[in-house]
Structure 1
Amino acid sequence: MLMEELPPEAELDGPPPNADHLLRRTLGTVREERHQAVRRRGRVTAVTSVFVAAGVLAGGFWMGQEPEQDDDAALLRGTSAAGAHMAVRVTDTEGGLRLVATVDGVRDGEACWLVVHTRDGRTFTAGSWRAHAGEVTLAGSAMVRAGDVAGVSVVDHHRQPLVTAG
């Protein structure tokens, strides 16, 4: 009665005669599945690398573009009797105005301040620097609307104007 419950494979003496063939087939299947997984990972890595390279190139292209000029920006220019030149781009922002001034011809070593003059007589210091030989470009800001600007000056440490644009 006990023998009736055992499967027929339990009565075999030793491994089946085709055991080596079965082991080789199993190992071959495992090797093939591993090889396919490695190839699949390689393809995924290659595709990911292509997308990353495309993103880097697109980002570099985007970063290399010149910024659009603001149509609402005003360009003020001025020249002094001493030969100093200044061009200032004045742009309205949410909190006031932004200035980008290019100044040339100021004496080397001169302490300079960029000053905004309003129509109602107020003044705002927008930036400062020490002049050097050649052209300098300076960015600054002031808490005033661009429409209220009467002019922009570069002044020395005695507050005497070196060049005014307006």
Structure 2
Amino acid sequence: MAPNVLDTNELNEIDTMLMEELPPEAALNGPPQNADHLLLRTLGTVREERHQAVRRRGRITAVTSTFVVAGVLAGGVWLGQGLGVGETADALLQGTSSTGAHLAVQVTDTESGLRLVATVDGMQDGEACWLVVHTKDGRTFTAGSWRAHDGEVTLAGSAMVRAWDVARVSVVDHDRRPLVTAS
């Protein structure tokens, strides 16, 4: 016998080993007899699972949307009720300078700080002006700025200070010299 030639017994052993490794479905000649029924049942299961997932997603979206709308409405009501709460007009400060400039400031204390409405008259045309709030302990806060013109100017400003802490309000020039002060 030649050294590279396998005998029939060896071939049968190799064939048996290969057959043991293959699943039983590989030995079938053609598809199983109930293949159409199995395919239809599988496709039906897939369709039903997909349909359930879509319905579940729809329910989750509806519930989430309901909560978002309810939250927005509740927040709007809360904010709407909060407007004006805690706002009190604490003082009207007035002052006149030696040059004839007039300053009147309505000071309103709000929950978030101080709101000012200042009416200024008699500033030199083209003058750069700053509205400055001075506190009782010496701190200063710039509440607004503008370029003056002939006639009366009304402007709004704000500062992070409470109304009871305001000592005076001034209009100052570019060099921070007071032009007119209201107290």
The alignment's TM-score, normalised by the length of structure 1, stands at 0.59
SS at match of 1:76: strand
Distance in 2 (alpha carbons) for counterparts of 1:69 and 1:164 = 24
User: 36, 41, 58: which one pairs with 1:42?
Assistant: 58
**In the TM superposition, what is the alpha-carbon distance from 1:17 to its structure 2 partner?**
4.5
Instruction: For 1:86, give the aligned amino acid.
Output: V
SS at match of 1:41: helix
CA distance 1:45–1:145, shift in 2 (3 Å): closer
> Where does structure 2 lack aligned partners over 5 or more consecutive residues?
1-23
Contact 1:109/1:130 (<8 A) preserved: no
Residue identity over aligned pairs, in percent, reads 40
Residue-by-residue CA offset, 1:1-48 (whole Å, 9 max, x unaligned) = xxxxxxxx99x9866644423332232222222222222222222322
> Where does structure 1 lack aligned partners over 5 or more consecutive residues?
1-8
Larger radius of gyration: 2
Q: Which residue of 2 aligns with 1:56?
A: 72
SS at match of 2:178: coil
Contact 1:112/1:156 (<8 A) preserved: yes
RMSD between superposed Cα atoms in Å: 4.1
SS at match of 1:68: coil
**In the TM superposition, what is the alpha-carbon distance from 1:131 to its structure 2 partner?**
5.2
Distance in 2 (alpha carbons) for counterparts of 1:92 and 1:35 = 53
Q: Does 1:114 align with 2:132?
A: yes
CA distance 1:112–1:36, shift in 2 (3 Å): closer
Distance in 1 (alpha carbons) for counterparts of 2:163 and 2:83 = 26
CA distance 1:63–1:134, shift in 2 (3 Å): farther
Please list, as runs of the form range in 1=range in 2, the aligned pairs for 1:79-94 lying within 5 A after superposition.
79-80=94-95, 84-89=103-108
User: 96, 100, 115: which one pairs with 1:100?
Assistant: 115
How many pairs does the alignment contain? 144
**In the TM superposition, what is the alpha-carbon distance from 1:103 to its structure 2 partner?**
0.1
Distance in 1 (alpha carbons) for counterparts of 2:58 and 2:111 = 53
